[in-house]
Chains A and B, each alone.
Chain A
Amino acid sequence: DTEVTQTPKHLVMGMTNKKSLKCEQHMGHRAMYWYKQKAKKPPELMFVYSYEKLSINESVPSRFSPECPNSSLLNLHLHALQPEDSALYLCASSQEQGVDEQFFGPGTRLTVL
């Protein structure tokens, strides 16, 4: 299995809602990543987990809360988002955190109303 899966594919939420994005990989990778991508822009790194511990937080607002329950799963909990948070949220994984090939999931298209 060389795939990163993400659910849901699309999500529409209001500014007072709480929702979660899920990411899963079964490649035995020990590093997992969350990126945010706005239209016509490159992906921007948000968080990096290495061996289930948060390694990098790119000064992301606290309304985004990552969680890595085990080595195969990565969640992104969302609360009190703003319309400008609407974007494609991409999950990726790599063998280790380092100079290593990253595999991306298809993303979750998030719309905040």
Chain B
Amino acid sequence: GESVGLHLPTLSVQEGDNSIINCAYSNSASDYFIWYKQESGKGPQFIIDIRSNMDKRQGQRVTVLLNKTVKHLSLQIAATQPGDSAVYFCAENNSGTYKYIFGTGTRLKVLA
């Protein structure tokens, strides 16, 4: 399930299930989006990106969906594995400011 509170929102999923992590972005002018994975004690690691002229992009076991109408981004992870446990951040960028703005993050916990 998903919980939101004083701490990072956390999504707990069973190993082998699919995970969906959501992100609401703030700027309707943003035209480039990245999903990052950050493991404890490490820097963010690029997972997948999407430009605003697309609404879906697939990678290896991951899919990003973009809904510009409601300013929503999602990351789908197929067949979630223990190694997927981490904090996931979305980041938005617009070609006007060239600044990356990160979302609040979601902790993914994979249950054995």
Residue ranges of A at the interface with B (Cβ–Cβ < 8 Å): 4, 33, 40-45, 48, 55-56, 58, 90, 92, 97-107
Interface residues of B in 63-100 (CB under 8 A from A): 89, 93-95, 98-100
Residue ranges of B at the interface with A (Cβ–Cβ < 8 Å): 7-8, 31-32, 34, 36, 41-46, 49, 51, 89, 93-95, 98-105
**Contact yes or no, A99 B104, CB < 8 A:** no
* Also in contact, A106 and B43, with CB within 8 A (given A40-B8, A99-B51): yes
Residues in A whose Cβ lies below 8 Å from that of B44: 43, 90, 104
How near does chain A come to B88, taking the closest CB pair, in angstroms?
Answer: 11
**Contact yes or no, A105 B43, CB < 8 A:** yes
Bound: A48/B95 CA distance, A: 15
Residues in A whose Cβ lies below 8 Å from that of B51: 99
* Also in contact, A99 and B103, with CB within 8 A (given A90-B43, A105-B43, A106-B43): no
Which secondary structure dominates where chain A touches chain B?
loop
How near does chain A come to B42, taking the closest CB pair, in angstroms?
Answer: 6
**Contact yes or no, A42 B105, CB < 8 A:** yes
**Contact yes or no, B103 A42, CB < 8 A:** yes
**Contact yes or no, B34 A101, CB < 8 A:** yes
Bound: A100/B8 CA distance, A: 27
How near does chain B come to A63, taking the closest CB pair, in angstroms?
Answer: 22
**Contact yes or no, A98 B95, CB < 8 A:** yes
CB-based A-B contact count at 8 angstroms: 57
Residues in A whose Cβ lies below 8 Å from that of B31: 99
Residues in A whose Cβ lies below 8 Å from that of B46: 101-103
Bound: A100/B95 CA distance, A: 10
Residues in A whose Cβ lies below 8 Å from that of B103: 42
**Contact yes or no, B99 A45, CB < 8 A:** yes
* Also in contact, A99 and B8, with CB within 8 A (given A42-B105, A90-B44, A105-B43): no
**Contact yes or no, A107 B43, CB < 8 A:** yes
Residues in A whose Cβ lies below 8 Å from that of B36: 104
How near does chain A come to B89, taking the closest CB pair, in angstroms?
Answer: 5
* Also in contact, A102 and B43, with CB within 8 A (given A40-B8, A42-B89, A42-B104): no
